[in-house]
C-alpha cells in the first residue's frame, strides 16, 4: 500500500502527494481511511487563503498543530479502520472502526487516545458527521434555547442544518431558517424548520416582524452563514434583550456592523461559540466527554448521511474543491471515498 495525502499548496490549489505507507510506533495504530469529509466552512477558508495572519490551526489536535501557512494538510472529519498496531497497543484495537480529527489521507498513524471508536449501531457515513454534530451540540449549549422562544438560524450549511435538526426537538414557539441556496432550503425543511427563507428576499424583514431601528421578533438567533453580512442580519432580527450566537468563523473577512441604531438600546447580547472549548459556566458539569456522548446520540437520531450530495476520489480533490468554491448551491456535504483497492 502507498500513502496518499492531500495538501493545500496555494490559494485555490490542492495537491495529492504519494509516499510509502507509514509504520506505527509502539504506542500507535495504523488507520486505513474509508471516508473523509470536506468542511465547506473552515476548510474552504484554507482553500481560499482567507485565514487571519498568525492564527494557529487547532492546538486541540496533534494532527492540526502549527499555524496556517502553505503547504498545509488540513481536514478534521475522517472515518476508517485500524489495520495494524504497535507492540504496546492491545490487540482489541485491530479491526476497530474509528473517527479521527485528521486531515485527508488514506493511511495514517495515531495514538489510540485521540481516536473515537464508532458505536456498533452507527454506520461509517453517519459517523463521518461527528465533528459537525459536536459543533451543533456546542452551539445549543451556548445559545441555551428556552421553551416558547422564537429562534432563527442563519445559514443552512451542514452545521446549520444539524443545529436546525437539534432545535426542532425543542418546544419552541417557532423555528425559522435563512439560506441562499434552494437545495439547502429544502433540506432545512426536512430537518425540522417550519419556514426557510432566502435572506435576499426583498420582504424578508417584514415577513419576520423586524422594524428598522427597532429590532425583530427572535429571542435567539444563530449566525452560521460564514458571511459577515449575516451578523448584521442577525442583529436586525433580534428582539430587545435577545441574544445572537456567532458560530461562523469569518477568517480574514472583516465584519461591518450597524451598532448605532438598535443594538445598545435593545441591550442585545453577542455570544461567541467555538467547539474547541466549553463555556466556563458549563464546564464543571459538561466535560468534553459528555458533549461527545450527546453528539453520538444525536447522530443516531438525525442520521445526517442524507446530506451527502457528492462523492469524489482523493485523486479528484481539485475538482471537489472547485465545485464547492464556484457552485456552492449544488452541494451540501462533499466527501472523499477512498477506493476499495486501498483498503485491501
Q: Could you report the per-residue pLDDT of 150-172, keeping only the tens digit for each?
A: 999 999 999 999 999 999 999 99
* Residue 344 in this model has a pLDDT that exceeds 50: no
In this predicted structure, what is the pLDDT of residue 255? 86
Total number of residues shown for the chain: 344
In this predicted structure, what is the pLDDT of residue 340? 59
What radius of gyration do the chain's Cα atoms show?
21
Q: Give the whole-angstrom CA distance, residue 168 versus residue 172.
A: 8
> Pick from 31, 156, 10: which is nearest to 83 by CA?
31
Q: Is the pTM of this model over 0.75?
A: yes
In this predicted structure, what is the pLDDT of residue 213? 82
Across-strand partners of 336?
36, 312
* Residue 342 in this model has a pLDDT that exceeds 50: no
In this predicted structure, what is the pLDDT of residue 63? 58
SS3 24: coil
Owner of C-alpha cell 426583498: 202
Sign (positive/negative) of CA torsion 288, 108, 51, 314?
negative
Topology of domain 2-118+306-343, CATH: Quinone Oxidoreductase; Chain A, domain 1 (3.90.180)
CATH 3.90.180.10 region(s) of the chain? 2-118+306-343
Strands (E), the chain: 2-10, 13-20, 29-37, 78-85, 97-100, 107-110, 116-117, 150-154, 174-178, 195-197, 218-223, 238-246, 269-272, 308-312, 333-337
In this predicted structure, what is the pLDDT of residue 253? 82
Average the pLDDT over 303-317 and give the result: 98
CATH 3.40.50.720 region(s) of the chain? 132-280
% of the chain with per-residue pLDDT over 70: 94
Model confidence pLDDT, tens digit, residues 45-87: 999 998 876 676 665 656 555 677 899 999 999 999 999 999 9
Query: Class of the 132-280 domain?
Result: alpha beta
Amino acid at each position: 500500500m502507498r500513502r496518499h495525502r492531500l495538501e493545500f499548496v496555494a490559494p485555490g490549489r490542492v495537491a495529492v502527494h504519494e509516499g510509502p505507507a507509514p509504520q506505527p510506533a509502539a504506542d500507535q495504530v495504523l488507520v486505513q481511511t474509508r471516508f473523509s469529509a470536506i468542511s465547506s466552512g473552515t476548510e474552504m477558508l484554507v482553500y481560499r487563503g482567507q485565514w487571519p495572519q498568525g492564527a494557529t490551526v487547532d492546538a486541540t489536535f496533534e494532527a492540526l498543530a502549527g499555524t496556517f501557512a502553505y503547504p498545509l494538510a488540513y481536514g478534521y472529519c475522517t472515518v476508517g479502520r485500524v489495520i495494524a498496531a504497535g507492540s504496546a497497543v492491545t490487540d482489541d484495537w485491530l479491526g476497530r472502526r474509528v473517527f479521527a480529527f485528521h486531515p485527508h489521507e488514506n493511511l495514517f498513524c495515531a495514538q489510540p487516545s485521540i481516536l473515537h471508536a464508532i458505536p456498533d449501531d452507527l454506520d461509517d457515513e453517519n459517523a463521518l458527521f461527528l465533528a459537525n454534530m459536536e459543533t451543533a451540540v456546542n452551539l445549543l449549549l451556548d445559545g441555551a434555547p428556552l421553551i416558547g422562544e422564537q429562534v432563527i438560524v442563519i445559514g443552512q450549511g451542514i452545521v446549520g442544518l444539524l443545529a436546525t435538526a437539534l432545535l426542532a426537538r425543542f418546544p419552541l414557539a417557532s423555528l425559522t431558517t435563512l439560506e441562499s441556496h434552494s437545495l439547502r432550503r429544502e433540506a432545512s425543511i426536512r430537518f425540522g424548520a417550519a419556514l426557510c427563507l432566502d435572506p435576499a428576499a426583498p420582504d424578508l424583514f417584514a415577513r419576520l416582524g423586524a422594524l428598522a431601528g427597532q429590532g425583530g421578533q427572535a429571542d435567539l438567533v444563530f449566525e452560521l452563514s460564514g458571511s459577515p453580512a449575516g451578523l448584521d442580519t442577525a442583529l436586525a432580527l433580534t428582539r430587545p434583550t435577545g441574544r445572537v450566537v456567532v458560530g461562523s468563523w469569518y477568517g480574514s473577512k472583516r465584519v461591518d456592523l450597524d451598532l448605532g441604531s438598535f443594538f445598545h438600546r435593545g441591550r442585545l447580547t453577542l455570544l461567541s461559540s467555538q467547539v474547541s472549548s466549553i463555556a466556563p459556566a458549563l464546564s464543571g458539569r459538561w466535560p468534553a466527554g459528555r458533549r461527545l456522548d450527546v453528539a453520538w446520540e444525536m447522530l443516531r437520531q438525525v442520521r445526517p448521511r442524507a446530506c451527502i450530495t457528492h462523492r469524489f476520489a482523493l485523486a479528484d480533490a481539485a475538482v471537489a474543491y472547485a465545485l464547492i468554491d464556484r457552485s456552492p448551491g449544488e452541494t451540501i456535504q462533499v466527501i472523499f471515498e477512498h477506493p476499495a483497492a486501498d483498503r485491501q
